[in-house]
Structure 1
Amino acid sequence: MNSPDLAAPDLASSVTRLIELLDIEELDTDLYRGATRDEGWKRVYGGQVVAQALVAASRTVPAERLCHSLHAYFIRAGDPAHPIVYKVERDRDGGSFTTRRVVALQQGKPIFNMAASFQTEEAGLSHASSMPAAPAPETLLNEAELTLRHAEQTPEPYRSMWLARERPIEFKPAVVFDVFNPIAAPPFSQNWCRLAAPLADIDPALARALFAYASDMTMLDICLQPHAVAWTNPRLQAASLDHAIWFYATPNMNDWLLFDGDSPVAGGGRGLNRALVYGADGTLVAAVQQEGLIRYRPKA
């Protein structure tokens, strides 16, 4: 099999399409509709739903109040053949905090819900963990480059899907794992990410939505690493169950962000994953936590 000879992707256009995906349509007061995108999978990517729900909630909040935390549950798999409707509930508008709830629906059924809190930015007591040592992103290959390098060893249909996959977010893993033939490894992970092409004038609310979109891409992998189970194994049922983000600064999506992650526990068919996220200057900008379903069925 010859190595694939693909035209260079139009990264700027892929970023533009992501922005369009997050620019949800207002149907009525506190009611929005988001488009979906069929990328060959049977479900909608969870980060898209989190990001669109955050955009919906943000549009009901004054611009000077930014999301400082969100907590979400994935209820049903989203169908990429149908748009998603987001219904926002205005729970409270306080002196400095605003709270919102969002339910995402497809064909009349809830597939996702989220609670989000917004705060007027203010000064206060401050401390943060130091950024850990990590390989410089300039020394690493990104996911697209790794896909091309390992294309001949990638079975179909994943090979064609991955080669054709649009990547508006550039990811660079510090350690590369063989996802089809995994070897048991400690539950630690480091990934650099940024927009695949720079975007001018990103307002803080959009930056946080873009971060939310990216934040679901690598989390679930961490809790599988100690068990050497390929996510393509038919005995494994894996999916995100919930997702939480705490923002401590607006992420600069045009520059590298380091997701420094671990999985402290797994049990009961579930695995906990968490990451501290640092800007290129070492600032701790966010914390992400996710529990995933990792149900491993016995042999028939």
Structure 2
Amino acid sequence: MLVGQDAVDSLLGVLDLEEIDKGLFRGPQPEVGLQRVFGGQVAGQALVAAGRTVPGDRRVHSLHGYFVRPGDSSKPIVYQVENIRDGRSFSVRRTVALQGGQTIFFMSASFHTGESGLEHADPVPNDMPGPEEIPPLSEQLQSHPDRLGIWARVPRPIDVRYEGGSGFSASGERPAREHQRVWLKADGKLPDDPLIHVCVLTYASDLTLLDSVLARHGEVWGPGGYLGTSLDHALWFHRPFRADEWILYDSTSPTADLGRGLAQGRFYQDGAHIASAMQEGLLRQTPETPGVP
């Protein structure tokens, strides 16, 4: 299992797409991964592909994606980028992720030069302990090693620190709460390219967001709890940031019904609201069986 800078370098390798033709890219898979491709990886790679076709003075300010089919982690993914528009200050791209000739994910992303205008932002939550005061997930779950699940089997390029318990807690041990708050950052140094930082945050945004739906009910992932699948994902990037420095991810779930839950999150760094996320996921209850999927 890779951790620290080794895991970060592995993620950077996954985000380093091969251009095989104009607007056509091939995305590598991590050396060790899940049977299904992690949604944040697909979204991050799709954004890299789109970003490489955009003029250098424009930075992504939003993306909207749909997960259509599960991806196979044993095969590379091909990303096809369509140039929708290049205007005076905006560029729009549509990226389709393909495996075996079938679409597994598609995404629209908009890029902007940035302009002067009105400025405001809601304040950062002030009742959150600092990241150094919260142990990483691996330490939080030392008393329940069987609950580590996928975290114990795959590279961990993102240091994630939950306040007040996570969806990997043992069943019955997680208190219900309206807000789920985590500190996160790349667990190593990233290059200075702003696109890389945005793509790493895109990857990280899918790690914990859907968990906020379970948090409203004190529920957990795995046997006796729930399995979740991302259906769509949207991100808005408001201000520059570094993904290798601590970011507070404050998320909540305003509604859940009919087997689906909606989650929304805000990212803060150095007191500034840097990005926002929305996601809907499919949640299915699991029977009491040994082990964690």
Q: How does 1:15-94 map to 2 (within 5 A)?
A: 15-37=8-30, 39=32, 41-94=34-87
CA distance in 2, matches of 1:104, 1:41: 18
The correspondence for 2:158, drawn from 149, 169, 175, is 169
- Which stretch shifts more, 170-179 or 85-94? 170-179
Tell me how far apart the structure 2 counterparts of residues 38 and 243 of structure 1 sit (CA, whole Å): 25
Cα deviation, residue 39, structure 1: 4.1
Q: Which residue of 2 aligns with 1:141?
A: 135
1:68 and 1:160, CA in 2 relative to 1: closer, same or farther beyond 3 A?
closer
Q: Deviations over 1:62-93 (max 9, x none)?
A: 11101000000000111101110000010000
Q: List alignment gaps of at least 5 residues for structure 1.
A: 1-5
Aligned AA (2:57): E
Written as runs of structure 1 = structure 2, the 5 A alignment for 1:119-268 is 119-133=112-126, 134-147=128-141, 149-150=142-143, 153-155=144-146, 162-177=151-166, 179-182=169-172, 183=174, 185-199=176-190, 201-233=191-223, 236-268=226-258
Counterpart contact for 1:207–1:250, Cα < 8 Å: no
Alignment check: 8 A CA contact 2:223 2:287 kept: no
Larger deviation, residues 162-171 vs 12-21:
162-171
Q: CA deviation at 1:188?
A: 1.3
Partners of 1:180 and 1:165 in 2: how far apart? 20
Give, in whole Å, the separation in 2 of the partners of 1:276 and 1:165. 26
- Kept in 1, the 8 Å contact 2:177–2:217? The answer is no
Q: 2:274 aligns to what?
A: 285
**Is the 2:27–2:79 Cα contact (8 Å) retained in structure 1?**
yes
Identity of aligned residues (%): 41
**TM-score, normalisation: structure 1:** 0.88
Q: Which moved more, 1:241-250 or 1:40-49?
A: 40-49
Aligned partner of 1:110 among 103, 124, 127: 103
Quick one: structure 1 residues 211 and 78, their matched pair in 2 at CA, closer, same or farther if it must change by over 3 Å? same
What does the per-residue CA deviation read over 1:4-25, in whole Å, with 9 as the maximum and x for residues that have no partner?
xx9xx65222211111110000
Aligned residues of 1:37 and 1:44 also touching (Cα < 8 A): no
TM-score, structure 2 normalization: 0.90
> Structure 1 residues 38 and 290, CA, compared in 2 at 3 Å: closer, same or farther?
farther
1:37-76 deviations in Å (ceiling 9; x for gaps) = 2645321111000100000000000111010000000001
Could you tell me which residue of structure 1 aligns to residue 291 of structure 2?
Answer: none
Residue identity matched to 1:138: E
- Checking the alignment, whether the CA contact within 8 Å between 1:87 and 1:103 is kept in structure 2 is yes
Distance in 2 separating the partners of 1:33 and 1:39? 18
Cα distance in 1 for partners of 2:253, 2:150 equals 28
Counterpart of 1:3 in structure 2 is none
Q: Distance in 2 between matches of 1:184 and 1:38?
A: 36
Q: Do the aligned partners of residues 145 and 229 (structure 1) sit closer, same or farther apart at CA in structure 2, a change above 3 Å counting? A: closer
Question: Are the aligned partners of 1:269 and 1:296 in contact in 2 as well (CA < 8 Å)?
Answer: no
What is the CA deviation profile of residues 79-113 of structure 1, one whole-angstrom value per residue up to 9, with x for unaligned ones? 10111000001000011000000110101100000
Report the alpha carbon displacement of residue 236 of structure 1 after superposing the two structures with TM.
4.0
Distance 1:162 1:276, change over 3 A: closer
Do the aligned partners of 2:177 and 2:218 also contact (CA within 8 Å) in 1? no
Q: CA RMSD in A?
A: 2.2
- Three-state SS of the structure 1 residue aligned to 2:34 is coil
Amino acid in structure 2 at the alignment position of 1:202: D
The Cα offsets for residues 121-173 of structure 1, whole Å up to 9 and x where unpaired, read as 222111000001211111010123334x23xx333xx6575334321111111
* Consecutive unaligned residues in structure 2, runs of 5 or more: 289-293
Q: What is the CA–CA distance in structure 2 between the aligned matches of 1:293 and 1:10, rounded to whole Å?
A: 30
